[in-house]
Amino acid sequence: MADNGAQLDTDFATFEVVELDAFTLLGANARYDLSESVALTLRRSNLFDASYQEVVGFNSPGRAVFGGLELNF
């Protein structure tokens, strides 16, 4: 879980200082070992599809799912 409080930024369209809203992001990770050398991974970010900005005028990514295969040799 990532929790970010309100923060200040400069809006370069107007050169005013603006306060960005606080936001909380929740993610999840899973890993399943198929053997000593092979594992499946799954990562889910922004589970609740929170809409937030870390920089004025630039929206951040929505929810996403990533899968992977790890090989150890």
pLDDT confidence band for 48 (50 / 70 / 90): very high
Given this model, what pLDDT does residue 43 score?
97
Given this model, what pLDDT does residue 1 score?
76
pLDDT confidence band for 59 (50 / 70 / 90): confident
| Whole-angstrom distance, CA of residue 45 vs CA of residue 62 | 8
Q: What's the alpha-carbon Rg for the chain, to the nearest Å?
A: 18
| Whole-angstrom distance, CA of residue 65 vs CA of residue 68 | 10
| Whole-angstrom distance, CA of residue 68 vs CA of residue 31 | 9
**Contact present, 43 and 15 (Cβ < 8 Å):** no
Query: Which tens digits make up the pLDDT trace of 11-43?
Result: 888 999 999 999 999 999 999 999 999 999 999
Please give the model's pTM, rounded to 2 decimal places: 0.71
